[in-house]
Amino acid sequence: MVRDLGSFPRPVLAALAAAERLLTRRAGASVVLADPEDLGGSVRSVVARARVARNPFSLPRTLVVKHYLTPPEPDRPDPFHYEVASCQLFTALPAESRPSPALLAHDPQARLLVLEDLGRSSTLADKLFGPDAASAQRTLVSWARALGRMQAATAGRENDFGALLRRLGERAWRDPMAEDARAAFAEVPSLLSTELGVHASAAAGAEARETARLLGGTRYRAFSPSDTCPDNNLVTSRGVRFVDFEWGCFRDVALDAAYFRVPFPGCEASFALPPGMAESMLEAWRNEIAAVWPDLDESGRLEQRLLDAQLLWVWLCTWTMLPRIHERDELVGADPTRTPRISTALAHYWRQLAVAAQDGRPATAELGHAVAAALAARFPDSPNRLPVYPAFRSVA
If you average pLDDT over every residue of the chain, what do you get? 91
pTM, whole model, 2 decimals?
Answer: 0.92
Q: Quick check: 332 pLDDT over 60?
A: yes
Between residues 82 and 26, the one the model is more confident about: 82
* pLDDT 10s digits, 334-347: 777 788 899 999 99
Give the residues across from 266 on adjacent strands: none
Mean pLDDT of 68-92: 91
CA distance 21 to 16: 9
Domains for the chain: give ranges and CATH numbers: 10-116 (3.30.200.20), 122-392 (3.90.1200.10)
* pLDDT higher than 70, residue 3: no
Q: Strand 112-116 to strand 32-41: parallel, antiparallel, or no bridges (unpaired)?
A: unpaired
Asked if residue 382 has pLDDT above 90, the reply is no
pLDDT (mean) for 43-59: 84
Q: Are strands 112-116 and 45-54 parallel, antiparallel or unpaired?
A: unpaired
Name the residue type at position 33: L
What pLDDT, on the 0 to 100 scale, is given for residue 8? Answer: 61
16-39 mean pLDDT: 90
Which of 116, 111, 50, 46 is CA-nearest to residue 87? 116
Q: 122 pairs with which residues across the strands?
A: 235
pLDDT band at 7 (very low <50, low <70, confident <90, very high): low
| Residue 373 confidence (pLDDT) above 70 | yes
Select from 311, 309, 313, 173 the least CA-distant residue to 253: 309
* pLDDT recorded at residue 313: 96
pLDDT tier for residue 72 given thresholds of 50, 70 and 90:
confident
Mean pLDDT across the stretch 96-109?
93
Q: pLDDT confidence of 1, banded at 50, 70, 90?
A: very low
In this prediction, residue 6 carries a pLDDT of 53
- What is the pLDDT, as a whole number, of residue 2? 46
Mean pLDDT of 116-123: 91
Alpha-carbon span 351 to 372, nearest angstrom: 6
Residue 101, φ and ψ in degrees, nearest 5: -65, 145
Q: How confident is the model at residue 227 (pLDDT cuts 50, 70, 90)?
A: confident
Residue 184's pLDDT band, with cuts at 50, 70 and 90, is very high
pLDDT at 203 exceeding the cut of 90: yes
The Cα–Cα gap between 209 and 48 comes to 43
Of residues 238 and 277, more confidently modeled: 277
Among 191-195, 327-331, 387-391, the range scoring the smallest mean pLDDT is 327-331
Q: What percent of the chain has pLDDT over 90?
A: 70
Distance CA 63, CA 118 (A): 8
Could you tell me the CA-to-CA distances from 125 to 139, 230, 346 in Å, in that order?
10, 5, 21
**Burial class of residue 376, CB neighbours in 10 A (0-12, 13-18, 19+):** middle
Main-chain phi, psi angles of 290, to 5 degrees? -60, -35
The answer, yes or no, to whether residue 55 has pLDDT greater than 90, is no
Which one is predicted more confidently, 266 or 329? 329
Q: Which of 360, 361, 253 has its CA nearest to residue 315?
A: 361
pLDDT tops 50 at residue 67: yes
Residue 185 confidence class, pLDDT cut points 50, 70, 90: very high
Higher per-residue pLDDT: 269 or 90:
90
